[in-house]
């Protein structure tokens, strides 16, 4: 008796229907579920890909955490050695930053100029992997060389071998009066990471920056690279507590956190909107089963006369509705995974076939459509779709279980 709902429900699903409209509605419900699940997996994978690219490119350039000193910071090598003892810290590098104005041939542009030690910077930044025409080691002390972001260099109309003038908001007092502090730098190359940093960031040697800022051997702080960027707040707090006053910390959530919160919010809202599409497809099963129940009233009455309980009748139609939902969900999951794994190549093929480019590298920070399939998203979507399918079967199945045999057979 326990297998009767399963056997009869599957038989009803496979059987040809006298009313072809019911078969059509069943098919459209299944196709709608398939497309909804597939599109949801694909869109979330693409958003995960953009999130990954932003994290790697922007947070590859921006320090996960920074330790600064509210007083003079000349013993930075001792502090760096102590900080590296923390199990979460993978790299440390000193820096001196200053907002300045870069000028050349009548063009001027504000930028953040960062003084670095080339041999240390590779521990905390990916800039060395995105350099054009030069290497970080070309930044030699006393030569006043500078590496510009690609967009910044184009805006200033300079290239390798040209010179730019850096003006910083520090005054120099001379017998002739007070003048802003200025210095000419040699452009030895550019970097391109495909982010906003390309338009407002430049690198010089740490000693050149210290000389320009007249800060002696003092630095502004230490950049830290962590093994898990999402632990930045906790690790920064632990290090500051360990070092004590006058040290203070700053992590990436304070400088770039709003950007990534916006991405996560957008992802949640799009997920909700696409889940509504899946819900609409799932609740199409309601109309399908209601029509099936009306069409099968005579069969239901006969089963009840033979001793089937209301629970058995309810189970039959729940099995039928769930079969539609399960097949649609599984096909959608397979199609979504296939598209998510190959969408980058598919878009490239479409671009080549049509002779167009969807993502222009001069406008967007990447020139291809990224995708990252996360199995936790697939698991959530699958369970949500199956859950909606189950809920959509409850009312029609309950309605079928309430049919009285005498009333159903009166006119048969």
> Cα–Cα–Cα angle for 322, 325, 328, nearest 5°?
145
pLDDT at residue number 266? 76
Phi and psi at 403, nearest 5°, equal -70, 130
In this prediction, residue 9 carries a pLDDT of 61
214 vs 96: CA distance, rounded Å:
11
Instruction: Classify the phi-psi angles of 36: left when phi > 0, otherwise alpha if psi is within -120 to 50, otherwise beta.
Output: alpha
Q: Tokens 């960031």 belong to which residue?
A: 201
- pLDDT score for 169: 78
Give the C-alpha separation, 95 to 79, whole Å.
13
Contacts 24+ apart (CB under 8 A), 18-21: 18/295, 19/291, 19/295, 21/291
In the prediction, which pLDDT does 94 show?
93
| C-alpha to C-alpha distance for 53 and 373, rounded to whole angstroms | 14
Please name the residues in contact with 167: beta carbons below 8 A apart, sequence gap of 6 or more. Answer: 100, 101, 102, 103, 180, 181, 182
Rounded mean pLDDT for each run of 10 residues along the chain, 412 residues in total: 64 58 73 88 87 76 86 87 91 91 87 91 87 86 91 90 87 58 90 81 92 87 88 90 88 76 76 79 79 76 77 82 88 93 86 76 66 90 89 85 70 56
DSSP for 256-295, written as a single string = THHHHHHHHHHHHHHHHHHHHHHHHHHHHHHHHHHHHHHH
Residue carrying the six token digits 């409850």: 394
What is the pLDDT at residue 410?
63
């Amino acid at each position: 008796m326990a297998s009767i709902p399963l056997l009869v429900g599957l038989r009803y699903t496979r059987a040809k229907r006298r009313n072809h409209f019911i078969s059509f509605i069943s098919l459209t419900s299944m196709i709608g579920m398939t497309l909804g699940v597939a599109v949801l997996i694909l869109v979330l994978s693409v958003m995960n890909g953009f999130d990954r690219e932003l994290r790697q490119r922007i947070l590859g350039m921006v320090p996960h955490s920074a330790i600064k000193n509210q007083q003079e910071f000349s013993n930075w090598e001792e502090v760096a050695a102590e900080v590296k003892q923390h199990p979460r810290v993978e790299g440390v590098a000193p820096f001196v930053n200053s907002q300045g104005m870069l000028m050349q041939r009548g063009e001027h542009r504000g930028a953040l100029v960062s003084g670095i030690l080339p041999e240390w910077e590779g521990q905390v930044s990916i800039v060395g992997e995105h350099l054009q025409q030069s290497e970080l080691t070309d930044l030699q002390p006393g030569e006043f060389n500078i590496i510009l972001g690609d967009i910044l260099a184009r805006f200033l109309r300079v290239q390798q071998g040209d010179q730019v003038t850096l003006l910083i908001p520090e005054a120099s007092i001379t017998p002739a009066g007070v003048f802003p502090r200025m210095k000419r730098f040699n452009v030895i190359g550019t970097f391109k990471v495909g982010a906003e940093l390309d338009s407002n960031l430049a690198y010089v040697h740490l000693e050149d920056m210290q000389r320009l800022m007249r800060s002696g051997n003092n630095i502004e702080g230490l950049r830290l690279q962590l093994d898990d960027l999402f632990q930045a707040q906790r690790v920064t707090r632990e290090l500051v507590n360990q070092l004590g006053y006058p040290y203070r910390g700053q992590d990436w959530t304070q400088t770039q956190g709003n950007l990534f919160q916006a991405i996560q919010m957008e992802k949640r809202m799009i997920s909700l909107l696409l889940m509504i599409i899946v819900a609409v497809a799932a609740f199409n099963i309601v109309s399908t089963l209601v029509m099936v129940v009306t069409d099968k009233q005579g069969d239901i009455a006969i089963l009840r006369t033979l001793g089937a309980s209301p629970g058995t009748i309810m189970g039959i139609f729940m099995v039928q509705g769930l079969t539609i939902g399960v097949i649609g969900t599984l096909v959608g999951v397979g199609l979504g995974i296939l598209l998510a794994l190959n969408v980058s190549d598919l878009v490239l093929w479409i671009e080549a076939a049509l002779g167009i480019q969807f993502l222009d590298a001069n406008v967007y920070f990447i020139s291809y459509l990224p995708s990252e399939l996360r199995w936790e998203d697939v698991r959530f979507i699958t369970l949500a779709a199956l859950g909606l399918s189950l809920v959509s079967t409850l009312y029609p199945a309950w309605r079928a279980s309430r049919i009285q045999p005498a009333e159903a057979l009166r006119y048969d």
